[in-house]
Amino acid sequence: MWTIRVVSAALLTLGLAAGPAAADSTPSASPSGDSAAPTSAGTSFRTATEIDQGRTATANASAGDYLYWSFPADTGQRPTVEATVKLPREHAAQTWQIDVYDGLRRRQACQYGAQTRTAAAGAESVELACVLRTVRAWSEPWADDPLPGTYYLRLTAVGVRTADLGQPVAAEVRVESKEIGGSAAVDGRLAEPLVPGVAVARQGDEDGSRAPAVLSGVEPDGGWSSGRWSDRWVWTVSGAVLAALAGIGGYALTRGSGRPPHVPPNA
């Protein structure tokens, strides 16, 4: 009977630990519809149009243009970038490509997805996708791991004939992330997310105070969470509790009743 109680307590503890973990694995909600989605794109890193995750941005451009957007990605997220380009009615074969760069303008490799695709002559549209690696809270200086901060999306045609240059195209881009949770947690964190200008100081008030000049206003809903606790801690504590309960249960099963063995009266 006592063993059943130990097992029940262990299962209850495991269930309580799994609750926060399941909540963390749910993708973040889309931003509220208070602000309209962007309808234009930048032409360089400095003029990249800021977009929120979960919102579709559009832009009208010409074949051969470089289109730039920026978006925030936080610790534990695995961003997926999708782009659709609507092509003119008549055109030759075109190759389109999306590239993603982090806050240090390091090109980030795609885990999988059609990062480059060729649209056949006369095709109505071309669709591209790039699934990035999971964003880490900290990394070695020499590593190329994705880190929390601003990310840049560049969309362009890399193979366009001269006759098709300048033809009108319409682009749609969307960024969504999957919350990976504690399985991607690491020991350590960045002092600041990789947001352009976050470490640049500007002259403040007349008293000489200085404040950070942030050149990018994009950030996740609820702010940056780099370095906060994750469900990794929940599972660690749960494992320790389960190990303690298992030890107590094993001791209770093996120690016996604690009374001396029965001795026959005529012995």
User: CB-based contacts of 85: which residues, under 8 Å, 6+ apart?
Assistant: 96, 119, 125, 126, 127, 128, 155, 169, 170, 171, 172
- Lowest average pLDDT, out of 57-71, 139-153, 218-232, goes to 218-232
Contact between 126 and 119 (Cβ < 8 Å): yes
Q: Rounded CA gap, 113 and 129, in Å?
A: 5
Q: Tokens at residue 136, please?
A: 């880490």
pLDDT band at 159, cuts 50/70/90?
confident
3-state secondary structure of 97: strand
DSSP per-residue codes, 245-256: HHHHHHHHHHS-
- Lowest average pLDDT, out of 65-74, 144-153, 182-191, 250-259, goes to 182-191
pLDDT of 65 higher than 90 = yes
Q: What is the pTM of this model?
A: 0.69
- Looking at the chain, the whole-number percentage of residues with pLDDT higher than 70 is 65
Spatial CA neighbour of 100 closest among 156, 168, 32? 156
Sheet holding 77-86, edge to edge: 57-62, 168-179, 77-86, 125-132, 110-112
Taking only the tens place, the pLDDT of each residue in 67-96 is: 999 999 998 899 999 999 999 999 999 999
Q: At what angle do helices 231-254 and 2-24 cross, to 10 degrees?
A: 170
| pLDDT, position 189 | 66
| pLDDT, position 227 | 43
Q: Rounded CA gap, 227 and 229, in Å?
A: 7
Q: 129: which strand partners?
A: 82
* DSSP 8-state symbol, 129: E
Q: How far does Cα 241 stand from its chain's mean position?
A: 31
Q: How far does Cα 39 stand from its chain's mean position?
A: 24
pLDDT of 160 higher than 80 = yes
The domain spans of the chain are 16-201+213-234
CATH architecture, range 16-201+213-234: Sandwich (2.60)
pLDDT of 183 higher than 80 = no
Euclidean distance between the first and final Cα of the chain, in Å?
34
**Length of the chain counted residue by residue:** 267
